[in-house]
Amino acid sequence: MDKKQSEALPPEVSLPRLLRLRQVLQDRGLDGAFISQPENRRYLSGFTGSSGWLVILEKEAWLITDFRYWEQARQEAPHFELVRLVDRMDQLMTKLAERLGERRIGFESTHITVDEHQRWMAGDGPVTWVPEKNLVEPLRAVKDEGEIERIRRAAALTDEALAYGLSQVHPGMTEEDLAWVMERYMREHGAEGVAFEFIIAGGPKGALPHAHPGPDPLPTGQPIVIDMGACVDGYRSDMTRTVCLGEPEDPDTFWTVYNTVLSAQEAAIAQIRPGMSGSEADALARDVIARAGYGDAFGHSLGHGVGLAIHEAPRLGRLSEDRLEPGMVITVEPGIYLPEWGGVRIEDLAVVREDGLEILSHASKDPILSGDW
């Protein structure tokens, strides 16, 4: 059971989500959906337990879970009919197949394992199971104001945790120490956890965009990439800052790279609008970096959606055809990575609004931390 007091997802939030899913089902010629992906399950039902399945039909919505979660499921997902799982999952699938009758039910093909699939499909019954992708994910991409509020709180806590962490940096402090100081701050100030394992990468390690904090002391005079986020009421935040303890050893490269990344980010933030594709948004930053001669050193996408999951729709990348819409929450995170030197990435979290981006990350972008290093 989650430690937190269980809270129901109000009907004015849950029912429109079910309605939108039913429209998707109708468009795809399906009579129902079998939802197993955890964030999709939570989004539709409000159920936060770690084990359970949803069946959404034209007029019914079932939540299947085992005895550990019955009370929690009843409280959190009051408009779902609770189906108590007492048998093994494959036995349940046989019973479900009978109860569903001659319906075509979409299941989340990117989520279940080959093994589960074989065992389920072995069950007899008139139901037809149809593999489907992106049944719920596109619905999750556009957030309501309640979701944005949770993300805003997670982002504010991330700003605060970074400021606190940087105020505690002292000579010899390791990447791991700094990660823990910031994680503890988040947990002590209302986060249920971190949004993902932080990335803290000093010096040449920063050239690996996903390096994890290690026992190395934070270097002085070199870029340190800090990528972090909090989880508040299930919703995540994501922010990166690059800092330098004292003046950079190699000021020419440092400032050229830092200012190029910052200009690329500012260009994207100023120009992203709803209606653009993910690739058009990506190009706004990528062109700035390419013009400065670092095109090959920006090897990842400009950004991604954030919500119940740290990476979700839409994608902002060279090949993305996703269309930006008001209410989407995205990151804008250009970077330049030079092997043996290090990396600079600057990432803000933002809401797509009718007239452009509303930025949720407010931590300083002045990279130099003065002190006695």
- Compute the least distance from the CB of residue 238 to Zn ion, in Å: 4
Binding piece for Zn ion, criterion CB under 5 A, among 11-19, 70-78, 112-120, 234-242: 234-242
Using the minimum distance from each CB to Zn ion, give the nearer residue, 100 or 226: 226
- Write out the two tokens for 75: 């409280």
Using the minimum distance from each CB to Zn ion, give the nearer residue, 48 or 361: 361
Of the residues 31, 177, 238, 322, which one makes contact with Zn ion according to CB under 5 A: 238
Using the minimum distance from each CB to Zn ion, give the nearer residue, 279 or 331: 331
Using the minimum distance from each CB to Zn ion, give the nearer residue, 54 or 200: 200
Q: CA 15, 151, 272, 20: dihedral to nearest 10 degrees? A: -10
227 scored as a contact of Zn ion (CB under 5 A):
yes
Using the minimum distance from each CB to Zn ion, give the nearer residue, 239 or 288: 239
Largest CA distance in the chain: 74
Binding piece for Zn ion, criterion CB under 5 A, among 101-109, 203-211, 219-227, 357-365: 219-227
- Compute the least distance from the CB of residue 331 to Zn ion, in Å: 4
- Compute the least distance from the CB of residue 311 to Zn ion, in Å: 7
- Write out the two tokens for 46: 């409000």
- Compute the least distance from the CB of residue 313 to Zn ion, in Å: 14
Site for Zn ion in 332-371 (CB under 5 A): 347
CA nearest neighbour of 96 among 47, 48, 45, 53:
53
- Compute the least distance from the CB of residue 347 to Zn ion, in Å: 5
282 scored as a contact of Zn ion (CB under 5 A):
no
Binding piece for Zn ion, criterion CB under 5 A, among 119-127, 240-248, 318-326, 356-364: 240-248
331 scored as a contact of Zn ion (CB under 5 A):
yes
* Size of the chain in residues: 373
- Write out the two tokens for 208: 């690996």
- Compute the least distance from the CB of residue 333 to Zn ion, in Å: 5
- Compute the least distance from the CB of residue 239 to Zn ion, in Å: 6
The residue count for binding Zn ion (CB under 5 A) is 5
Using the minimum distance from each CB to Zn ion, give the nearer residue, 158 or 220: 158
Task: For the beta carbon of residue 365, count every other beta carbon within 10 angstroms.
Answer: 16
Using the minimum distance from each CB to Zn ion, give the nearer residue, 108 or 347: 347
Using the minimum distance from each CB to Zn ion, give the nearer residue, 1 or 359: 359
- Compute the least distance from the CB of residue 242 to Zn ion, in Å: 12
Q: Which residues bind Zn ion (CB under 5 A)?
A: 227, 238, 240, 331, 347
